[in-house]
Amino acid sequence: MIYLYFLVAIAVVIAAQRLNDLRAKRVLFLLLGAALLCAPLFDRNDATFNVLADAGIFVLLALGLNIVVGFAGLLDLGYAAFFAIGAYAYAMMASPQFNLHLPFWLLLFLAAAFAAIFGIILGAPTLRLRGDYLAIVTLGFGEIVPQIFQNLTKYTGGPNGIGALDFPSFFGRSFGQSTIPYYYVVLALIALALFFAYNLRDSRLGRAWMAIREDELAARHMGINTTAVKLAAFALGASFSGLAGVVFAAKLSLVSPDLFQFQVSVLIVSMLVLGGMGNIPGVIVGALVLVLVNNVVLPQANTIAASAGLHVDFGNYHFFIYGAILVGIMLFRPEGLLPSRQRKEELHHAAA
């Protein structure tokens, strides 16, 4: 059953990518949105919507990182740090930890703002670095942030993290244990993120990002303030991650430092690489495919193996899958499985 949701969503996104007619594209997306909105009316399986909400959180993360990596061409290997900042913002301000119980909806905006501020703090001194050095600096940042959360035990609960986070409520009605309200929140945030991502891409700022991605020197000489524009990419990308962090923390009702390790950053990069960096439908498909593999296919494979009497834990092969995707795609199809036409040209032109 769960496969049906993923396959339909992936198929619709791929179809939308293939269509040239803008209006048909929109209709297709709206139909998918309507179908996803109605789904809980027919299917009341909480576990399904748990997986779908997780998938949605990763779609959000992929859309956010796509602004940084896909649009502006800045490899960010520490994106999970902003996710952690969003999650901890919720955990510290809506839990018994400090006896603060700010509303979920307010914290969504606050966390997005926090994450954006940290994006600027990290980006301001480092964005003039060359691409590969920037990647390593972001990696270092991504290592430092969860480590600091782990070390400041007094404020963050240390390695155990913070638990018993508040359930969000909507007009006085608590979300409770059900996962369906989170599913709706995630859908709404994705719609918002898509609106921003598409409009940013087609804005003056978006064109500036792509100009920088293709040739930074030329872009600078065309009068683009490259530092400011890159900083905008960092801040906006980070804010998506902050939003995703709040929903993630609230849904899990728990945060701990080990949820935001380097592997998470690489997982999101893998989603972009798989789907096609810079192409919005591509990164959505990349995120859906990898969540499907991680949260559905591998656990099922374990069950099947166990029933066949085999003691294999396919959960041990996560790293291998991400690694194989990164190597295989970059070697044989650097534009990803579902690229935009423009990006494909660029990459093949550059390689020639």
Partner 1 sequence: MHEFLAQLFNGIALGGIYALIALGYTMVYGIIGLINFAHGDVYTLGSFFALTIFTALGVSGELHGVALIVDVAIALIGAALLCGIVGVLIERLAYRRLRNAPRLAPLITAIGISFILENAMQIWKGPAPVPFPAVVPNPSIVIAGVAVGAQQFLLVGLAVVMMVALQLFIHNTRLGRAMRATAEDRDAAQLMGININKTIMLTFLIGSALAGVAGFVSGVYYQSTWFFNGFGAGLKAFTAAVLGGIGNIAGAMLGGFVIGIIESFATWKFGGQWSNVTVFAILILVLVFRPSGLLGEAVYERA
Enumerate binding residues for partner 1 (CB under 8 A).
Answer: 73, 75, 77, 125-126, 129-133, 135-137, 139-141, 143-144, 147-148, 150-151, 215-217, 262, 266, 269, 273, 316-320, 322-328, 330-331, 334, 347, 350-351
Minimal distance, residue 150 CB to partner 1, in Å: 7
Which one, 61 or 75, has the nearer CB to partner 1?
75
Rounded to 5°, angle at Cα 294 from 291 and 297: 105
Helix (H) or strand (E) segment spanning residue 75: none
| Cβ–Cβ < 8 Å for 285, 271 | no
Minimal distance, residue 100 CB to partner 1, in Å: 26
Please compute, for residue 145, the number of CA atoms within 13 A of its CA located in the half-sphere on the CB side: 29
Q: Which residue shows structure tokens 């029933």? A: 307
The contacts of residue 6 (CB under 8 Å, 6+ apart) are: 55, 288, 291, 292, 296
Minimal distance, residue 203 CB to partner 1, in Å: 24
Q: Which residue shows structure tokens 């849904």? A: 251
| Cβ–Cβ < 8 Å for 116, 134 | no
Which one, 97 or 126, has the nearer CB to partner 1?
126
Minimal distance, residue 218 CB to partner 1, in Å: 10
Minimal distance, residue 320 CB to partner 1, in Å: 4
Minimal distance, residue 132 CB to partner 1, in Å: 5
Which one, 152 or 192, has the nearer CB to partner 1?
152
Which one, 52 or 77, has the nearer CB to partner 1?
77
Q: Which residue shows structure tokens 């591998």? A: 298
Minimal distance, residue 299 CB to partner 1, in Å: 18
* HEC sequence for 4-39: HHHHHHHHHHHHHHHCCCHHHHHHHHHHHHHHHHHH
Which one, 127 or 246, has the nearer CB to partner 1?
127
Minimal distance, residue 126 CB to partner 1, in Å: 6
Which one, 266 or 280, has the nearer CB to partner 1?
266
| Cβ–Cβ < 8 Å for 280, 338 | no
303-325 burial code (b ≥16 CB/10 A, e <16) = eeeeeeeeeeebeeeeeebbeeb
Which one, 71 or 175, has the nearer CB to partner 1?
71
Which one, 5 or 149, has the nearer CB to partner 1?
149
Question: Alpha carbon 114 to chain centroid distance?
Answer: 17
Please compute, for residue 136, the number of CA atoms within 13 A of its CA located in the half-sphere on the CB side: 4
